[in-house]
Structures are given as structure tokens and as C-alpha cells.
């Protein structure tokens, strides 16, 4: 199967998460294509996709919005799309950060929620989302961020089999 990891990144954090997701997809034996949406892309094909953006003012980036709006809905109908974002600043303390992430995941003021809603509004299957913590306003990622991204990716891949 072929996975697509489409991302937009402002300070490099979302790109780093996207690379970890892509590496996990490849390690599971799948083909993977990484797409930097800032460059504009047409005719994206694959069997499943991860879309990622930093949360900026409670929303996804404009580049990601344009990318999702340009997806061929007929080609992606019925295929799994997973939304992820980087969000922060969150506490450096792991226990507090976990609590904050749980609260953030329940809300709808995040890029992941907005991407999920935009995909769903176009009739696409984007029922899964996850958020990755940034501990400073511009970064870095939380120490457990990449492990968390890999674990979420493994869960998604297990659901495809």
C-alpha cells in the first residue's frame, strides 16, 4: 500500500513529525510519499494519507486548507485520512503536558480538528486525529513527541490491515 504524508510547517516542528510518520509507514513495509503542501500539489494518489499542520490561531495553515480543498474527492472517497497537528506551547512537565493534550484533543480549536472537519465536509473519511505537543511557542517539540507520533501511526496502520 502507498501512504501519503502531506504537511505544512512554519518553524519545522510539523515537518519533523511528518518525517517520523513517514519513517514509521516505510518501516511497516509500505511505500510513502511526503508532500510539502506549501509547494502546491496536484493529482495526489495513495491508499491512505496523513495531513499535518501547525495550529495557528486555532486553525490550520492557509496552505493546508488549499491542499485539502484541492484533493480529488472522488479519488480519496473511502480511503482513510488522518489529521495531525503540532500545538503549543505546552508545559515541559510530562504529566501536565499529557493532561493539556487530552483537553486539547476534546476541543475543536485546533488544526487537526479543522482539517478533519474540512475533509469530512467534502465527503472524505477523516475520522482520526491526533495532536503533538510543542513546549515553546516556536518549538522545540516535547521530548516524547516523536514517540507519540510513531505510536499513533502504528495504530492507524494496524487499523488498515
Do 100 and 90 meet the contact criterion of CB atoms below 8 Å apart?
yes
User: What does the block give as the cell for 57?
Assistant: 490561531
Over residues 87-95, mean pLDDT: 80
For 122, the domain range is 2-160
* Domain containing residue 124: CATH number: 3.40.50.360
Rounded Cα distance, 112 and 95, in Å: 22
Q: Are strands 80-87 and 125-133 parallel, antiparallel or unpaired?
A: parallel
Mean pLDDT, the chain, rounded, equals 91
Instruction: List the one residue out of 144, 152, 74, 160 whose CA is nearest residue 112.
Output: 152
Percent of the chain scored above 90 by pLDDT? 73
Residue 109, pLDDT > 80, answer no
Domain count, the chain: 1
Rounded Cα distance, 47 and 89, in Å: 33
Residue 101, pLDDT > 80, answer no
User: What does the block give as the cell for 130?
Assistant: 491526533
Of 121 and 94, more confident: 121
Percent of the chain scored above 70 by pLDDT? 98
Look at residue 88 in the predicted model and tell me its pLDDT.
83
Rounded Cα distance, 40 and 53, in Å: 14
- Within 8 A by CB and 6+ apart from 7, the residues are 14, 15, 17, 18, 34, 35, 36, 37, 50, 51, 52, 53, 64
Residue 66, pLDDT > 90, answer yes
Look at residue 107 in the predicted model and tell me its pLDDT.
67
Amino acid at each position: 500500500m502507498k501512504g501519503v504524508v502531506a504537511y505544512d510547517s512554519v518553524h519545522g516542528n510539523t515537518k519533523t513529525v511528518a518525517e517520523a510518520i513517514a519513517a514509521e509507514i516505510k518501516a511497516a513495509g509500505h511505500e510513502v510519499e511526503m508532500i510539502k503542501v506549501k509547494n502546491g500539489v496536484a493529482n495526489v494518489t495513495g491508499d491512505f494519507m496523513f495531513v499535518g499542520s501547525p495550529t495557528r490561531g486555532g486553525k490550520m495553515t492557509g496552505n493546508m486548507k488549499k491542499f485539502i480543498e484541492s484533493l480529488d474527492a472522488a479519488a480519496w472517497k473511502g480511503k482513510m485520512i488522518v489529521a495531525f497537528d503540532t500545538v503549543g506551547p505546552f508545559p515541559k512537565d510530562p504529566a501536565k503536558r499529557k493532561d493539556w493534550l487530552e483537553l486539547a484533543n476534546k476541543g475543536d480549536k485546533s488544526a487537526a480538528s479543522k482539517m478533519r472537519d474540512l475533509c469530512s465536509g467534502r465527503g472524505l473519511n477523516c475520522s482520526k486525529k491526533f495532536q503533538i505537543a510543542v513546549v515553546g511557542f516556536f518549538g522545540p517539540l516535547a521530548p516524547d513527541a516523536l514517540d507519540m507520533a510513531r505510536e499513533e501511526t502504528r495504530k492507524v496502520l494496524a487499523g488498515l490491515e
